């Protein structure tokens, strides 16, 4: 393994490996999730 190796995870029991990336966007999901301010969401 090198210093710049990409961390991967196996997706369920499929045997498919994907890079491990986390992106939380719940807060900009719109009115269904408690309301948002569009300008603040874009700025984030």
- Tens of pLDDT, residues 1-44: 566 788 899 999 999 998 887 777 776 666 666 677 778 878 87
Instruction: Give the DSSP per-residue string, 1-44.
Output: --TTPPPEEEETTTTEEEE------GGGS-GGGT---HHHHHH-
Q: State the pLDDT at residue 17.
A: 92
Domain count, the chain: 1
Q: State the pLDDT at residue 14.
A: 95
Q: Does some domain include residue 3? A: no
Q: Does some domain include residue 38? A: yes
Residues 6+ apart with CB under 8 A from 40: none
Joined tokens for residue 7: 């961390």
Q: Does some domain include residue 29? A: yes
Q: Does some domain include residue 22? A: yes
Q: State the pLDDT at residue 27.
A: 67
Dist CA 26 CA 31 (whole Å): 11
Dist CA 34 CA 4 (whole Å): 39
Identify the domain containing residue 28 by its residue range. 8-43
Q: Does some domain include residue 36? A: yes
**pTM (two decimals):** 0.36
């Amino acid at each position: 393994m090198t210093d710049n190796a990409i961390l991967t995870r196996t997706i369920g029991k499929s045997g498919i490996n994907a890079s491990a990336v986390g992106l939380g966007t719940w807060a900009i999901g719109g009115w269904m999730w408690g309301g948002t301010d569009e300008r603040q969401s874009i700025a984030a």
